[in-house]
């Protein structure tokens, strides 16, 4: 199969880019691939909203820029922060024009929320299901474009580069080029190659590497892992953001339900087992301190008391007001016997967001030619050592737009026809010597071990010995999984395990390189900040 523009991922980043190139190039084909259903993305689960300076009377670009820089703890790229904050407002207006609706006051102004680290009310939201509303609007707009083809249940295995033409490709090879991808079509169980003039990687996050995460099952870091295998540049993987308040439900594995930070923005108070509002002891901003601080404080309270959760107290809210802003959370809590007007909500931190990823420049270009990256899989320089709440939907749209502008400016846009000879040389996927997996337990048990070791050794608080142990155990998992991969027919489960091991290895490597504590990376053996500011390039 051939396509002019190939987009991997149907979340906010992929859909925004696809819409824009399709609109500008009606004669060219845009193909979007997604590994499960089209709307099963991190985007769909976003609750709190999207940050943007919409109230110029009380807010300003400078304030939003400053809040982002403070959260990022010295590692944000100021130029990129300015780009995202300033261009973000236009992107928000655009998605509204595509049909997304955000809550409004009776006078027609947007209802603006507040979250940790924000000095002003600037979060647009659609009740507590903002991501679902944005995803809905984007998918509806995609349907209206006849030159876009969205293929669901299509698992991308690897990026095709010169390596597949038989050349030696290393990290120092200049001009590594992306020609397209190999995919496992889950409807036919066949492996195909899809060749593309330009590829956009918008494959999302990697929260599934941890035992407890707010991310859905699709978030296994496939894009980062593919780019690493293709010898592209990855950076800052040690900065994994743990959301302070995922709903604690004993026995629930996989995805945890999020209790949005907007609840604390509206006045929710964190309390420990003794009922103490403990955040006062940790930070003058109390419950609305940046996420890294709140998550560490909760982790400490849980360790001191030997418990598996703390509480979020909303008993002082008016029930009607709570239901108006957070209907989904209200229902979810009720479904597990928690009536927020009488009971406190049990909460615990959970892996939530990957601040690092595929290194891009300010136009979304990766170190591999013809390959862009945007959204959570990318590391643009916006988040630094810790992402400010509600900045990621904004970043995804701004960088999808910038990548689209850059794509349009390239002279070889849609260059497939000129490359016919080379395309014919790209081999089909080689599955010789492999057979169907005999025992799925070999995969499922390794996934469990991986999640456990990452949560116990590479979680909110780290130290050198734990990182060393994690590395040793990952080596073994890597060795066993590569051996399995050599002899077994590929399946999403096997590929995801392999990708998660790679991502875990990159997180551990980044954490081991960083001899300091900064933002989301806290190592008790290096509790201070280093005077040297640097990104971890992997
Ligand atoms: P995603 O939306 O995750 O989409 C990834 C896509 O890639 C999917 O379609 C997936 O199928 C596809 N894919 C991945 N691997 C493959 C493969 N191998 N083959 C084929 N397809 C593949 N951010 C905010 O700014 N505000 C919020 O309020 C907010 N709340 C959040 C709440 C929750 C519970 C979560 C989990 C995240 C939240 N975030 C929030 C973060 C934000 O939602 C994500 O960072 C953002 O939506 C990521 O968008 P994306 O387009 O990069 O990726
Ligand atoms: C939340 O609603 O608390 C999540 C916001 C975010 O991750 O940006």
Same domain membership, residue 280 and residue 221: no
Query: For ligand 2, is residue 389 a contact (CB within 6 Å)?
Result: yes
Residue 521 counted as domain residue: no
Same domain membership, residue 362 and residue 344: no
Same domain membership, residue 186 and residue 67: yes
Same domain membership, residue 161 and residue 203: yes
| Number of the ligand closest to the Cα of 386 | 2
Residue 261 counted as domain residue: yes
Query: For ligand 2, is residue 289 a contact (CB within 6 Å)?
Result: no
CATH number of the domain to which 450 belongs: 1.20.58.100
Query: 492-513 and 222-229 helices cross at what angle (nearest 10)?
Result: 80
Same domain membership, residue 366 and residue 333: no
Residue 449's pLDDT is what? 98
pTM for the complete prediction? 0.96
In ligand 2, the atom with minimum distance to the C-alpha of 261 is 3
The preferred substitution site among 7, 9, 64, 182 for testing ligand 1, maximizing ligand atoms within 8 Å of CB, is 9
In ligand 2, the atom with minimum distance to the C-alpha of 48 is 2
Residue 439's pLDDT is what? 86
Query: 78-97 and 392-409 helices cross at what angle (nearest 10)?
Result: 90
Query: For ligand 1, is residue 208 a contact (CB within 6 Å)?
Result: no
Count of domains for the chain: 3
Distance 375 CA to ligand 2 centre (A): 15
CATH number of the domain to which 145 belongs: 3.50.50.60
Domain boundary among 317, 349, 381: 349
Distance 44 CA to ligand 2 centre (A): 12
Tens-binned pLDDT, residue by residue, of the chain (538 aa): 999 999 999 999 999 999 999 999 999 999 999 999 999 999 999 999 999 999 889 999 999 999 999 999 999 999 999 999 999 999 999 999 999 999 999 999 999 999 989 999 999 999 999 999 999 999 999 999 999 999 999 999 999 999 999 999 999 999 999 999 999 999 999 999 999 999 999 999 999 999 999 999 999 999 999 999 999 999 999 999 999 999 999 988 889 999 999 999 999 999 999 999 999 999 999 999 988 999 999 999 999 999 999 999 999 999 999 999 999 999 999 999 999 999 999 999 999 999 999 999 999 999 999 999 999 999 999 999 999 999 999 999 999 999 999 999 986 655 554 555 677 889 999 888 888 878 899 999 999 999 999 999 999 999 999 999 999 999 999 999 999 999 999 999 999 999 999 999 999 999 999 999 999 999 999 999 999 999 999 9
- Does an H or E element contain 158, and which? strand 154-160
Domain boundary among 349, 378, 399: 349
Taking alpha carbons only, the member of 186, 165, 184, 185 closest to residue 230 is: 165
Query: For ligand 1, is residue 9 a contact (CB within 6 Å)?
Result: yes
DSSP letters of 237-290? TT-EEEEEEEEP-TT--EEPPB--THHHHTT-EEE-TT---GGGGT-TTGGGS-
Residue 10 counted as domain residue: yes
Same domain membership, residue 270 and residue 183: no
Same domain membership, residue 485 and residue 341: no
**Residue located nearest, by CA, to atom 2 of ligand 2:** 48
What is the SS3 assignment for 5? Answer: strand
Same domain membership, residue 331 and residue 203: no
Residue 407 counted as domain residue: yes
Instruction: State phi, psi for 313 to the nearest 5 degrees.
Output: -100, 115
Distance 146 CA to ligand 2 centre (A): 34
Q: Give me the long-range contacts of 526-530 (CB less than 8 A, separation at least 24).
A: 529/73, 529/74
By residue range, what is the domain housing residue 253?
Answer: 247-349
Q: Quick one: CA torsion of 80, 86, 88, 92, rounded to 10 degrees?
A: 180
Annotated active-site residue in 264, 271, 291, 473: 291
Domain boundary among 296, 320, 349: 349
Q: Which neighbouring-strand residues pair with 201? A: 8, 373
Same domain membership, residue 158 and residue 299: no
Distance 103 CA to ligand 1 centre (A): 22
Residue 374 counted as domain residue: yes
Residue 430 counted as domain residue: no
The verdict on whether 466 is a catalytic residue reads: no
Same domain membership, residue 29 and residue 46: yes
CATH number of the domain to which 274 belongs: 3.90.700.10
Same domain membership, residue 257 and residue 198: no
Query: For ligand 1, is residue 354 a contact (CB within 6 Å)?
Result: no
In ligand 1, the atom with minimum distance to the C-alpha of 51 is 25
Query: For ligand 1, is residue 371 a contact (CB within 6 Å)?
Result: no
The preferred substitution site among 68, 122, 131, 244 for testing ligand 1, maximizing ligand atoms within 8 Å of CB, is 131
Distance 219 CA to ligand 1 centre (A): 7
DSSP letters of 424-435? HHSPPP--TT-B
Residue 434 counted as domain residue: no
- Does an H or E element contain 190, and which? strand 190-201
**Residue located nearest, by CA, to atom 14 of ligand 1:** 203
Residue 145 counted as domain residue: yes
Distance 284 CA to ligand 1 centre (A): 32
Same domain membership, residue 85 and residue 60: yes
Answer whether 506's CB lies under 8 Å from 454's CB. Answer: no
């Amino acid at each position: 199969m051939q396509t002019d523009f190939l987009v991997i991922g149907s979340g906010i980043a992929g859909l925004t880019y696809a819409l824009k190139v399709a609109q500008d190039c009606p004669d060219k084909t845009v193909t979007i691939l997604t590994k499960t259903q089209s709307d099963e993305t991190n985007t769909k689960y976003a609750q709190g909203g999207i940050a943007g300076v919409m109230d110029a009377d009380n807010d300003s670009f400078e304030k939003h820029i400053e809040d982002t820089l403070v959260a990022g703890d010295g590692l944000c790229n100021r130029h990129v922060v300015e780009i995202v904050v300033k261009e973000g407002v236009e992107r928000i207006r655009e998605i509204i024009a595509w049909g997304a609706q955000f809550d409004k006051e009776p006078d027609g102004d947007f209802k603006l929320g507040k979250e940790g680290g924000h000095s002003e009310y600037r979060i647009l939201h659609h009740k507590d299901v903002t991501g679902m509303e944005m995803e809905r609007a984007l998918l509806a707009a995609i349907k209206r474009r006849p030159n876009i083809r969205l293929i669901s249940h299509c698992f991308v295995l690897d990026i095709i580069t010169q390596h597949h033409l038989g050349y030696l490709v290393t990290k120092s090879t200049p001009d590594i080029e992306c020609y397209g991808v190999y995919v496992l079509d889950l409807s036919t169980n066949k492996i195909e190659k899809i060749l593309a003039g330009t590829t956009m990687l918008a494959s999302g996050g990697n929260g599934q590497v941890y035992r407890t995460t707010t991310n859905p099952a699709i978030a296994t870091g496939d894009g980062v892992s593919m780019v690493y295998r293709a010898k592209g540049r990855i950076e800052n993987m040690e900065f994994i953001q743990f959301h302070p308040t995922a709903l604690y439900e004993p026995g629930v594995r996989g995805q945890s339900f999020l209790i949005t930070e907007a609840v604390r923005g509206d006045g929710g108070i964190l309390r420990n087992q003794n009922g103490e509002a403990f955040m006062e002891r940790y930070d003058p901003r109390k419950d609305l301190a940046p996420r890294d601080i709140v998550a560490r404080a909760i982790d400490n309270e849980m360790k001191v008391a030997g418990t598996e959760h703390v509480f979020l107290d909303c008993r002082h809210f008016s029930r009607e007001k709570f239901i108006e802003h957070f209907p989904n959370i209200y229902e979810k809590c009720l479904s597990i016997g928690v009536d927020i007007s009488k009971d406190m909500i049990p909460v615990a931190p959970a892996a939530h967001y990957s601040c690092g990823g595929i290194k891009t420049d300010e136009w979304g270009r990766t170190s591999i030619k013809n390959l862009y990256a945007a959204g959570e899989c990318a590391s643009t320089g916006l988040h630094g050592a810790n992402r400010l709440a509600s900045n990621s939907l904004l970043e995804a749209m701004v960088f999808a737009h910038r990548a689209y502008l850059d794509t349009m400016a390239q002279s070889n846009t849609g260059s497939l026809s000129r490359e016919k000879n080379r395309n014919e040389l790209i081999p089909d996927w080689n599955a010789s010597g492999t057979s169907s997996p005999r025992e799925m337990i070999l995969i499922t048990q390794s996934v469990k071990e991986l999640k456990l070791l990452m949560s116990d050794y590479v979680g909110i608080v780290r130290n050198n010995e734990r990182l060393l142990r994690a590395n040793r155990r990952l080596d073994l998992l890597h060795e066993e999984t590569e051996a399995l991969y050599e002899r077994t027919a590929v399946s999403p489960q096997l590929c995801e395990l392999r990708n998660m091991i790679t991502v875990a290895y990159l997180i551990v490597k980044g954490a081991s390189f960083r001899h300091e504590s900064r933002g989301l990376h806290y190592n008790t053996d290096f509790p201070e900040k280093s005077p040297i500011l640097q990104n971890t390039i992997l």
